[in-house]
Every structure is written in C-alpha cells, then in structure tokens.
Amino acid sequence: MSVADRRKLPHADVELTLVGLGCAQMGNLYRRTSYEECAGAFNAAWDAGVRYYDTAPFYGYTRSERRLGTMLTDKPRGDYVLSTKVGRVMVPDETVGAEEDSYLDPLPFRPKYDYSYDGIMRSFEASQQRLGILKPDILYIHDIGSMTHGDKHQHYWQQLTTGGGFKALGELRSQGLTKAIGLGVNEWEIVADAMQVFDIDCAMLAGRYTLLEQKSLAFLDECAAKGVGIVVAGPFNSGLLAGNRKFNYQDAPAEILAQLDTLNEACAAEGVSIQAAALQFPLAHKAVVTVVSGARTGEQITSNVKWFSEKIPASFWETLKAKGLIADGAPIPGAGA
C-alpha cells in the first residue's frame, strides 16, 4: 500500500487517500507550533501524496482552519479532499486565556456548542471564510455524544434532530455545498444512533478501532453492510502506540500498559515497528476508507510514510491473534476484508 492510494466513500463522490493529515497541531495543540513547522508538515504530506486534510473550528479556536486554508488555497482545488466540522459556533471573546482546552495561544474566539439549524449554518459559513474554500468535501458533526456532553447530551441531540441540525446538513449536501456528511467523534455508539435517524455518508471515529481497542468491530461490520465509510482517526491512541504514555487523552491505565507491553514483545520478535502496525491494521476492515494522523513537523510526516510502507509479515498478525490482541473476526492486513 501507498499513502497516495485511494478509497471511495460508498455513497458519495469522494475519494480519500489511504492516509490523511489531521490538523489539530496547526492549532497549537499541547504546545506552540510555528507557521513554518505547520507548513513543513503540510508540504511533506503533499510531497508524499497525501491529499486528505481534516480540520475544525475548535482547533486552536479557529487557528487551524486559518493556517490550513492558507496552504490549501495555493493548490488546485480538484487535487485534494478537505473536511471540517460543525457543532461549535466560535464567538469573539477577549477573555480567552493563554491556554484553553489544551491549545496554547488560542485565538480570541470561544466555542459555544450549537447543533441547531442556525448553529450549523453559522458554523459552516464562518468556516468557508476562514478556509477561503466555499465547498469543503466533508462536514462532520463534531463531538456530539455523552462522552463530551454528559447529562446535557439529550439537549444537544435534540438540537440535531428536532432542532433542525440534521436538516441543515441535508440541505448543504443537496445544494452541493458539501459532498458528504457524517460525525467526528470518539464514541461509536452515537454514530450508530445517528444512522437510525439520518442518512450519513461517513464517520470519523477517533481511537475506537486500533491495535489497542476493537470493541467497535460489530459496529464497523454494520457500517460496511450499509455503505457508511469509516475514517479512523487517532490510530496511535493519543500517542500511546507512538511512544508516549497517554491513552484517550489521559495517563494510560495499568491494563492498557500491560497490553502495550505484549504488543511490543510481539513487534520485537518479528522485527516490526509498532507504529507501522498501528497505521496499517485499521485499513484491513472494508468499512475503513482512510487513517488520519496528526503531525507537527515534516520529519513526523516522513516517519509516518515510512511506517505505512513497512512490510509486515503475515505471521505477525497471526501472532497477535493467538495472543488475543486482535478480536475474533477482525480482518488482518493481507488476508482480505
């Protein structure tokens, strides 16, 4: 496989490269990232053949959209796929601090959750202006679900359903202002709920179908049967599979660290990079159309491309299955989906 190979969303006229670039780091996620570093990561991804880029108004409180838009509008519009997100309206606010929601030096626009018809339209129109791009290819509903909203989840869910949020997305799609709509979330259950009430094309699922977690397998099987494409984000599970100690944005629990130790032992025995396995594993499932990973520098992009191209023997995947590290029924690379 090559990062530049493409897969099409089953029910939309969108082809995604097998690897996409997530652009939260362009918003200074966890640390300040200069424009030059961001441009280096973007240019390295472009030169490698990556043509799918994902951002959101929330990333850096609009900084990521502004930076990415500047870079993309120098490229021919038909050569790339862009996704952004709705669900938060960015409101001018002079009290925004030096660090908010793990973003350093965020711009003075505070996010306000709004999944209503008007909220979706306002968010979309503001993104058009920040990006300098009128028709993003994919629009995701950002961070809907009980993991984000807790006891307020039903309130925001009703904004999407009875409050016209889904209606707004349907209109944007039917008017040709976006080609595909879906959810960008950390919990697969809310995607399953959405599929019961609205015709989505895809879902960006962060951290829920990886080498460390495959509880969503039955759901992915359903998506494959119904033609809903899955964009796997966070294939390194907040970086745990790339060398740090975080899982789901927090310190990894002991049982996950033990699972990681077993994975590392299997990798060492077969001479496989754990990062290579993490990037390649999700794409074996026929519902998955691309894997999106963030990068802060061109050097990180180069590493991701190298890992993605690494040859992994079939015996490695069989070893993981034998050790119970891959769920029963989960397809493995090289064996067909």
Catalytic residue among 59, 61, 103, 209: 59
Q: Tell me, yes or no, if 93 is annotated catalytic.
A: no
Q: Tell me, yes or no, if 53 is annotated catalytic.
A: no
Question: Rg (Cα) of the chain, in Å, rounded?
Answer: 19
Catalytic residue among 52, 53, 61, 85: 85
Handedness of CA 2, 206, 271, 337 (dihedral sign): negative
User: Contact, 90 vs 151, CB < 8 A?
Assistant: no
Task: Give how far the C-alpha of residue 83 lies from the chain's centroid of Cα atoms, to the nearest Å.
Answer: 10
Q: Parallel, antiparallel, or unpaired for β 99-100 and 103-104? A: antiparallel
CA atoms within 13 A on the CB side of 222: 12
Burial class from Cβ neighbours inside 10 Å (0-12, 13-18, 19+) for residue 182 reads: buried
User: Contact, 262 vs 325, CB < 8 A?
Assistant: yes
Written as one letter, the residue type at 212 is L
Q: Find residue 182's DSSP bridge partners.
A: 140, 202
Name the phi and psi angles at 288, rounded to 5.
-85, 125
Name the phi and psi angles at 307, rounded to 5.
-65, -40
Return d(Cα 38, Cα 17) in angstroms, integer.
20
Q: Tell me, yes or no, if 13 is annotated catalytic.
A: no
Catalytic residue among 52, 53, 54, 201: 54
Return d(Cα 218, Cα 259) in angstroms, integer.
21
Q: Residues with catalytic annotation?
A: 54, 59, 85
